[in-house]
């Protein structure tokens, strides 16, 4: 159960967006297809479900778990290991993949005579563009426009109007893998009012030295993978001196669902809203720094 840090205004914003995302998918045009749609990334699955509904989707990969109805669909492997024979057997009208990580898969599918569409999903603008593109490809342009405009409004509603001077270290996997300002996570941190600890690095994701994190002294630590606790982080050598540890601003998957931030999908505004609430809770502590 997540600890709650959401003030009332943010709770209202989140509830309104949740209502939008939780609507039964209706008044959508079903694609005329032999085997329907196949989707090979969880972000694309969330986008297609919101724009075109779940009914036209014939199969997905193992990581596709939202909306809940997605969990009942047939699987064609995993994000990193799509089973081409299983995809071909379905005779899909179109396969949706994610760019750039699945560009090779897209090319392979097209070589096999299977129509595949790869859409970039690395930023908020990419997300809104993908919404509209999916609408065109599935015959639901009007609904896609409504959804994209609603998401743009949701981002505007949760966007921080001031920077909280909070320097955020985001740990995305064991071994001190982190992100820069050029990544989707970096953009989410900025939308929430913070600044990434490695904001200006020339890479999107990289493994950094533990000592570099300690020296940089983040105000907030956000660990977005399972199996690590606040106590684990505080017990790391030298980390007891880090401001985030001393002020109790270390957050894990107990505080926020990582999928809300790492997936470039329609639930991203919810993730930004939750992160904004966490940063607001740490604003006072940051101002008290010597």
Q: Residue 34's pLDDT band (boundaries 50, 70, 90)?
A: low
- Is residue 3 over pLDDT 60? no
Q: Do domains 13-156 and 160-287 have the same CATH topology?
A: yes
Average pLDDT over residues 277-286: 65
The pLDDT of 189-212, averaged and rounded, is: 94
Q: Is the pLDDT of residue 21 over 80?
A: no
Q: How confident is the model at residue 142 (pLDDT cuts 50, 70, 90)?
A: very high
Q: 287: pLDDT confidence band, cut at 50, 70 and 90?
A: very low
Assign domain 13-156 to its CATH architecture. Answer: 3-Layer(aba) Sandwich (3.40)
> pLDDT band at residue 288, thresholds of 50, 70 and 90?
very low
Average pLDDT taken over every residue of the chain: 87
Topology (CATH) of 160-287? Rossmann fold (3.40.50)
Q: What is the DSSP string of the chain?
A: -PPP---HHHHHHHHHHHHHHHS---S-PPP--SS-EEE-SHHHHHHHHHHH-STTEEEE-TT---SGGGGGS-B-EETTEE-HHHHHHT--SEEEEEETTTHHHHHHHHHTT--EEEEE-SSHHHHHHHHHHHHHHHT-HHHHHHHHHHHHHHHHHHS-SS----EEEEEEETTTEEE-TTSHHHHHHHHTT-EETTTT-S-SEEE--HHHHHHH--SEEEE-STT--HHHHHTSTTGGGSHHHHTT-EE-TTTS-THHHHS-STTHHHHHHHHHHHHHHHHHHHHT--
pLDDT value, residue 234: 97
Which comes out higher in pLDDT, residue 10 or 41? 41
Tens-digit pLDDT profile for residues 235-275: 999 999 999 999 999 999 999 999 999 999 999 999 999 99
For the chain, percent of residues with pLDDT exceeding 90: 79
Is the confidence at residue 9, as pLDDT, over 70? no
Instruction: pLDDT band for 165, please (50, 70, 90 cuts).
Output: confident
Confidence of residue 26 (pLDDT cuts 50, 70, 90): very low
To the nearest whole percent, how much of the chain has pLDDT over 70? 83
Q: Where are the domains of the chain?
A: 13-156, 160-287
Q: Are 221 and 250 in contact (CB under 8 A)?
A: yes
Tell me: pLDDT of 1 over 50.
Answer: no
Which pLDDT does position 32 carry in this prediction? Answer: 45
- Tell me: the pLDDT tens digits for 81-133? 999 999 999 999 999 999 989 999 999 999 999 999 999 999 999 999 999 99
């Amino acid at each position: 159960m997540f600890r709650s840090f959401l003030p009332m205004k943010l709770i209202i914003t989140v509830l309104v967006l949740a209502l939008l995302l939780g609507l039964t998918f209706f008044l959508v045009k079903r694609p005329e297809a032999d085997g329907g749609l196949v989707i090979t990334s969880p972000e694309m699955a969330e986008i297609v479900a919101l724009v075109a509904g779940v009914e036209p989707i014939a199969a997905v990969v193992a990581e596709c778990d939202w909306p809940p109805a997605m969990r009942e669909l047939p699987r064609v492997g995993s994000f990193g290991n799509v089973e081409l024979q299983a995809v071909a057997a379905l005779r899909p009208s179109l396969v949706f993949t994610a760019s750039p990580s699945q560009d090779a898969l897209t090319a392979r599918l097209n070589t096999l005579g299977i129509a595949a569409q790869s859409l970039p999903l690395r930023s908020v603008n990419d997300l809104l563009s993908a919404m509209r593109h999916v609408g065109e490809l599935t015959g639901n342009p009007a609904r896609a426009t409504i959804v994209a405009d609603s998401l743009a409004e949701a981002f505007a509603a949760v966007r921080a109007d001031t920077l909280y001077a909070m320097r955020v270290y985001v740990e995305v996997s064991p071994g001190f893998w982190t992100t820069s300002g050029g990544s989707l996570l970096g953009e989410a941190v900025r939308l929430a009012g913070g600044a990434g600890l490695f904001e200006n690095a020339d890479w999107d994701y990289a493994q950094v030295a533990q000592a570099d994190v300690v020296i940089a002294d983040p105000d907030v630590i956000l660990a977005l993978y399972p199996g690590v606790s606040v106590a684990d982080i505080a017990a790391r050598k030298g980390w007891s001196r880090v401001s985030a540890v001393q002020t109790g601003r270390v957050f894990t998957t107990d505080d926020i669902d990582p999928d809300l931030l790492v997936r470039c999908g329609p639930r991203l505004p919810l993730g930004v809203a939750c992160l904004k609430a966490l940063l607001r809770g740490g604003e006072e502590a940051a101002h008290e720094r010597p």
